[in-house]
A = this chain, B = another copy of it.
């Protein structure tokens, strides 16, 4: 039943006349304890979706179902993934971390040794450099927030400062870059600028309290808060200090932004300021006019989110959303705004501004600046069109 709105005052409807049922679970003891819990079976549609390269095991990406979540933390079972050769089943006792190259002494660490180091915790987002790539398409893809923007997640990561280990190895002043390499079958590797990661880089051992999940780098991964997901090398086995970048496949063939003139922007480290409305969004049909909360996520690899504005008219007018505390640097920030849907068409957008003053671009601006010859680092405004029947679709405003 629809609520009757009369001059601003809404009178509640009356529930159907039956007595409230005393359901079986109110009378019969429930399930016993288990060592490690799981979500309700009724929530089994709250799941990652994934795309895999033909004929391979787990070369591809999986996406977080943000339209079904709330808060800033992504539960570990739903953290997005990007694997290049499946999820290795690493025996932690056999795993080693090597630091070598331009250092005074090359060092090797066992996991037990790393576990004794001073730890630091950091709530941080990780976003794939390819997240949002569908916005580069000419026509709006008919998909929802999970497919559009699901390759970003946020967790509390705990680990050892990379700087502490490098200091023990003794960094040669000639070293300006490091190569980080994974123990997966793809040997995922990226070059990272030493000066820019010294402050923040963590060798992460824990993810939301427990050991890092296999899909996210068990037993250790690199965490570079705010930097392109691919740089946060999982299953980290080796750090080599070098003078220049190694020019690995993923920093040349991939993760560069090819501009209209054919040149490609390389070493795009920070994921620039961005936001997306997660509710309402495609798949979440609004059954009746009335109150809805507009909520979503904002983040910036440059720092803290300073402001998120929301438009319900495709960008003509904007109003600031409330930011859910705590607002943390390089973490997902939940924004919220009360909205009363009048039953007419609406065009919903969010626009983030971070604390260095960077403003999330419109899609027009992003494409005017960069063209559509790339798939990477799409941080433009995503637009949801609401139709009169309450359906929500991805549109270009």
**Interfacial residues, chain A to chain B (CB-CB below 8 A):** 12, 15, 20-21, 23, 25-44, 46-50, 52, 56-60, 62, 68-79, 81, 83, 85-92, 94, 96, 98, 105, 107-108, 116-121, 123, 155-158, 168, 183-185, 187, 205-211, 213-215, 218-219, 237, 290-293, 295, 324, 326, 328, 334, 336, 338
Contact = CB atoms under 8 A, between A and B. Distances in A.
Contacts of A41: 89
A27 B12 CA distance: 63
A92 B42 contact: yes
Contacts of A20: 96, 98, 108
A185 B96 contact: no
B47 A35 contact: yes
Majority DSSP secondary structure for residues of A touching B:
loop
Contacts of A218: 39-40, 42-43
Contacts of A338: 118
14 contacts: A12-B105, A26-B187, A29-B56, A31-B214, A33-B62, A33-B87, A37-B213, A40-B92, A41-B89, A68-B210, A70-B206, A72-B209, A121-B334, A123-B326
B119 A209 contact: no
B31 A86 contact: yes
A185 B28 contact: yes
Given A78-B210, A185-B25, A31 B295 contact: no
B211 A40 contact: yes
10 cross-chain pairs, A with B, having the tightest CB-CB distances, nearest first: A30-B86, A35-B47, A25-B88, A29-B57, A33-B50, A30-B88, A29-B86, A30-B87, A70-B158, A71-B158
Contacts of A116: 290-293
A150 B3 CA distance: 46
B119 A293 contact: yes
A48 B209 CA distance: 14
Contact of A70 (B79, B121, B290, B336): B121
Contact of A76 (B31, B37, B72, B87): B37
B36 A77 contact: yes
Nearest to A338: B118
B219 A40 contact: yes
Contacts of A211: 39-40, 43, 46, 68
